[in-house]
Amino acid sequence: MASDRTHAITREKYPYARSASGNVSQEYSVQLTFREQWLDERLKFDDIGGRLKYLTLTEANRVWMPDLFFSNEKEGHFHNIIMPNVYIRIFPYGSVLYSIRISLTLACPMNLKLYPLDRQVCSLRMASYGWTTADLVFLWKEGDPVQVVKNLHLPRFTLEKFLTDYCNSKTNTGEYSCLKVDLLFKREFSYYLIQIYIPCCMLVIVSWVSFWLDQGAVPARVSLGVTTLLTMATQTSGINASLPPVSYTKAIDVWTGVCLTFVFGALLEFALVNYASRSADRAADMHRENMKKKRREMEQASLDAASDLLDTDSNATFAMKPLVRHPGDPLALEKLRQCEVHMQAPKRPNCCRSWLSKFPTRQCSRSKRIDVISRITFPLVFALFNLVYWSTYLFREEEED
């Protein structure tokens, strides 16, 4: 019969080459060689004068084993190729060493506020299922209880360090012993810089090409704006598809949202330019119509005046007004008094006004002015956003470190 009480349990854990973290399901996978050791005095045997070091068993059901389980496990399986990867050693003084190779998928709740400039702490928890601390106590083995293989390669992550600790839990049925390993993963930013940040910057810059196209190139400017807007929206949806739906705003959401706003703003800028251009055309047409109308009225008035002056009587005489007035003429002096010249003191030159003065305020030049202002305003605002964005999130990352 197996004993119902053990004095202490120690274990060694060797994570091997596969460990990855998933953003959507908030989990990570690990392949490890799990080892635990306990003392069962009923299994003592004679070592025949030291010639027998230990006995080896391949069937775990032959001895009593602690009821250990992984509390944050979501999925796991043993390895049975070519033979089951498990063995048991029993030493003469009753110590039992149990070793097995397993693969686990473990839950890892993530805080994605700084994604993809974040660090994640994923835990591996091992606890007793039914035995309380009065019967079973888990202890870490002294001296390097957790060993990680060298040259461990993880896609998109770097394992910075790991910490061992205890996580005993108390319930209404008693206190249960628990061990945990905290794995600190740092996300590799270079991948996201190449796949997300640089393409988004390129899309925003391409949308600014519309400012340099002619106002009359309506198909070119519309197709450029719509294409960049749809591409940016597709990029944003692809990023969100790889992340879990969370209630807070992530760093990548701020970036993609602002880039999408800039692209949409470039499209709205063309709508404003097109409206100003059409308004100028309408004003020019109205001005031409008014000039034609005035010209016809003046011609009609001149014809009416000529018909009044002409007399059908050939003996009629015409009264001619003098073309030149004498200096003493009171009418000439009166008109001279009505003509006054007002002078204004010159103002200091303004750089912005002198630059904007190159484009007259007429309706036909207003649309051109909008394009020129946009060529300067959009890049400056985007550069300011980059300065604030990177300084803010990099500073927050240092604070968390």
Whether residue 166 is found in the same domain as residue 196: no
Whether residue 250 is found in the same domain as residue 126: no
Helix (H) or strand (E) holding 6: none
Whether residue 154 is found in the same domain as residue 208: no
State the total domains in the chain. Answer: 2
Which of 187, 209, 237 lies at the terminal end of a domain, its last residue? 187
pLDDT of residue 341: 47
pLDDT for residue 276 is more than 90? no
Helix (H) or strand (E) holding 198: helix 198-207
Whether residue 135 is found in the same domain as residue 208: no
Whether residue 66 is found in the same domain as residue 86: yes
Whether residue 145 is found in the same domain as residue 172: yes
pLDDT-derived band of residue 284, with 50, 70 and 90 as boundaries? low
pLDDT of residue 401: 59
Cβ-defined contacts of 247-253 (< 8 Å, 24+): 248/112, 248/113, 249/113, 250/112, 250/113, 250/114, 250/115, 251/113, 251/114, 251/115, 251/116, 251/117, 251/118, 251/393, 252/115, 252/116, 252/192, 252/196
* pTM over 0.75, yes/no: no
Whether residue 74 is found in the same domain as residue 181: yes
Q: Name the packing angle between helices 218-241 and 251-309 (round to 10°).
A: 160
| 156 located within any domain | yes
Which of 138, 172, 187 lies at the terminal end of a domain, its last residue? 187
| 334 located within any domain | no
**Is the distance from CB of 164 to CB of 138 less than 8 angstroms?**
no
pLDDT tens digits for range 356-370: 555 544 544 777 888
User: CATH number for the domain including 80?
Assistant: 2.70.170.10
pLDDT-derived band of residue 101, with 50, 70 and 90 as boundaries? very high
Q: Which residue, among 366, 392, 218, has the nearest Cα to 282 in the 3D structure?
A: 366
Whether residue 156 is found in the same domain as residue 76: yes
Whether residue 16 is found in the same domain as residue 105: yes
Domain span including residue 63: 7-187
**Is the distance from CB of 98 to CB of 66 less than 8 angstroms?**
no
| 161 located within any domain | yes
pLDDT tens digits for range 182-210: 999 999 999 999 999 999 999 999 999 98
| 331 located within any domain | no
**Which of the two residues, 217 and 16, has the higher pLDDT score?**
217
Which of 118, 153, 187 lies at the terminal end of a domain, its last residue? 187
Residue 219 phi, psi dihedral angles, 5° rounding: -60, -40
| 44 located within any domain | yes
pLDDT of residue 319: 47
Residue-wise burial string across 143-167, b where 16 or more C-beta atoms lie within 10 A, e elsewhere: eebbeeeeeeebeebebeebeeeeb
Strand locations in 23-72 (E): 27-39, 55-57, 68-70
Structure tokens at 213: 């196209």
| Range in 72-81, 287-296, 360-369, 373-382 with the lowest mean pLDDT | 360-369
User: CATH number for the domain including 252?
Assistant: 1.20.58.390
| 173 located within any domain | yes
pLDDT-derived band of residue 290, with 50, 70 and 90 as boundaries? low
pLDDT of residue 271: 87
pLDDT for residue 13 is more than 50? no
Length of the chain: 401
Residue 374 phi, psi dihedral angles, 5° rounding: -65, -35
Whether residue 381 is found in the same domain as residue 233: yes
| 174 located within any domain | yes
* DSSP assignment string, 231-292: HHHHHHHHHHHTS---SS--HHHHHHHHHHHHHHHHHHHHHHHHHHHHHHHHHHHHHHHHHH
Whether residue 212 is found in the same domain as residue 183: no
pLDDT of residue 308: 61
> Once rounded to an integer, what is the mean pLDDT over residues 17-42?
78
Whether residue 107 is found in the same domain as residue 233: no
| Count of CB atoms situated within 10 Å of the CB of 43 | 18
| 308 located within any domain | no
pLDDT of residue 336: 45
